[in-house]
A and B are shown apart, each in its own frame.
Chain A
Amino acid sequence: MKYSWNWLKTFIDIDIEPKGLADRLSMIGFGVESLIPSGSDYIFDVEITPNRGDCLSMLGLGREIAALLGKKMTLPLMTYNEIENKTDDLVQVKVEAPDLCPRYCGKVVKGVKIASSPDWLVEKLLAVGLRPINNVVDITNYVLAELGHPLHAFDLNSVMGLEIIIRRARAGERIRTIDGVERMLDSDMLIIADQHRPIAIAGVMGGVNSEITQKTTDIFIESAYFDPPSVRRTSKKLNLSSDASYRFERGTDPHALTKAIERTCHLIQKLCPCEVCDGVIDTNPQPLQPKKTWLRSSRVSSLLGVKVEKRRVEQLLTRLNFDIQRRDEDSWTVTIPSYRRDIEKEIDLIEEVARLYGYDQIPSTMPLWRGEDAGASDWVERERLIRRTMTAAGYYEVINYSFVDDNTDRLFRTEAEEAVRLQNPIAEQMGILRASLLPGMVANLAWNINRGIKNIKIFEIGKVYHLVKGIKRPEERKTLGITATGNFGERYWKDGKREFDFYDLKGVIEFLFHHFGWETLSFAPDNIDFYHPVRTALIRFGHRPIGHMGMLHPQICAQLEIPQNVYMAQLDLEPLLKAEASLVKFQPLPKFPAISRDISLLFDRGISFDVITRWINSLKEDIISEVKIYDLYHQGDNIPKDKVSISLNIQFRHPQRTLTLEEVARTQERLINLLKEKLNAEPR
């Protein structure tokens, strides 16, 4: 909110420079966002926290400045002359909803001449960001800016039946507000009505039907206290916020209603000749008793960590207009000013003491610790290590929004998966919570490819969200996503370039599991729609499926306009973060050398390596210590169309002695014969 230096100075003798005042206001809780010179004035833009609605005026912030500087305030003039006509002879006020309107005051002023406001008034309004309209409206706005109390002026002759009724709206009632918009009302909304129709939405905005016009001569000035949550609900529901509603919802001072009317009358009489009617309509002259609470000196010290002298506590609170009386050796009874709606209990008073005492005066200490041993839990360390493993494998971490486009996400969901929908998404294409990390990550590939980066390997760790049948709360699972496209590595001299493929992706998953010593990882053929039908696998950990991997289906790839093959995997991290960590048990180094043999064989095209190794294992030849595949050829290279050439490297080793070449040759022959017999293999 904007504050004028000159205006503030009409209440307080400020004996420091504007810059100094700005710094000191910041240090008592009023952050000055800017201080801008404007002619002979300075404009302070101050951030007022939602609890300090009482400071949304020159007088309100002025009270804080007076407390800060230890000064007294001079209140603005409130004097005016009244005629004999009584206000309550001219208009009746009836509050039908006292719960939402605990106090309603009003006064009639007759014979006003509507005109533009004088320059001094216009200047002041403009300085604090208010738009001048006409003298009567400007005065109500002026009083709002000055005292912080919202007022509304009705054209009295538009009030049908000369009766003001404060009631809940009836379903179906409408009002055109002064911004020209027709508003639908409902029975939760408080309105001001005459005998026939709504004439204002209470605390939010007046109606066109009773607004001040050039023809207005008699006005009814409303000064009311409306229930803050009610004003807020109405304002939210109508999506209509005003200077008045902003203040009402932050809580106004129910005791200041008549003061605001008096100040208004003083100003109206100053500006134009008019007749202020006698008396004020006041539905509840004593709306509430002053609030009292207590404060303990010992509590101030123990919470702030510094001994604040009793005299100092008394001095600081007195400056803030609290009435503070000693109760006993340690405590006081404190009466709270009516405008301080944020203060209820001792803790609120301690904050008042602390902020005026100065946070910078409180010595810094470190808390003692008497709890159990602490530190990072296993899952924290493990997640960290997963990140490190992925970066070590050459992957960059990405973070995507949790929101995705339902249509894209749907491509990456199985039929059983149901996404969580938002009621109020920020954008249409961000309407659901992601059920998979893959749509976002595939979009990351496309983004980079479109910017000329073709070789990409990325991972993401984040939650995915699903609706679960029969449970109200959707499920959230921490998940690892991996996607890659382009060449496997950077292109270097003397190195061939190779496209990233299925086995690179599988390898990084194996690498990750190897890192944690988890040996029960396995891959099985699968048929998830969004993968290439014959290049995909289900990933199991133990016997439990924990994810899937493969090549993105070429049709989806084309649909997403990605001109490269895309590989991707998604793994549920929850079981991995919780899985047993295994400590390595050292294996003695082999004492005898191994003998290595390479064999190349032609197999039928559909062979699986898994089957080959299973048959080799069935030989139960203890001296075969390792079987690796080191070369693989399909069609071309003189390979028939229905065949595949697999080159195996076999390590032979005996734990207790050196092997003879003869026994290696014998075993190798048994192996080849078995593969010939069982798998129709032909040596090449």
Chain B
Amino acid sequence: MSPAEHGFIRRLRLRQLPVMIGLVVFWLMLWGDVTALNVVVGVVLAIIVTRVFYLPPVDISGRVNPWWLLRYLGYFLRELVIASFQVAFLALDPRGVPHSSFVRVKLRTKSDFILTMVGMTISLIPGSLVAEVDRYQSTLYLHVLNTRTLKDVEAMRREVRWIEELLIRAVGDRNDLRRLGA
């Protein structure tokens, strides 16, 4: 093994260390008990999982803005609660079933991580789910429940772009931040 190759593998291991620690802690949480056996089994499982289900490393900007992160979490939790009850009442509404739409939303980000986070957020908030993703165009195609008029469609588009902005300001990289300003 050449020295360069060796260094590369060591960097890869180092990068996987947080994932490994996270997996072991997760395993211990599931057992609700910290014993030597649990830790050993957890480490073995973490190694197997990261080898067998190998995923390419995620590019995270490393920048965190606590204020915008807090705003994002606040927005997300508020929407989660409100929309949960909205969809629940929609299901029970005696006036009939809702009309839905497929909405195309072009995002500004070029980061896979932000794109994924926006998609996850949209999908967790009731009333919308990601039906298709165009990664190269940074475009999400959403299925949106209860769109009575085209105004509702536009409102949804604005909402998604606002979620994107919150996420970019919270954890996005400099390039994405610049794209927001443009």
Binding between chains A and B: no
Please give the residue numbers on chain A whose beta carbons come within 8 Å of chain B beta carbons, in ascending order: none
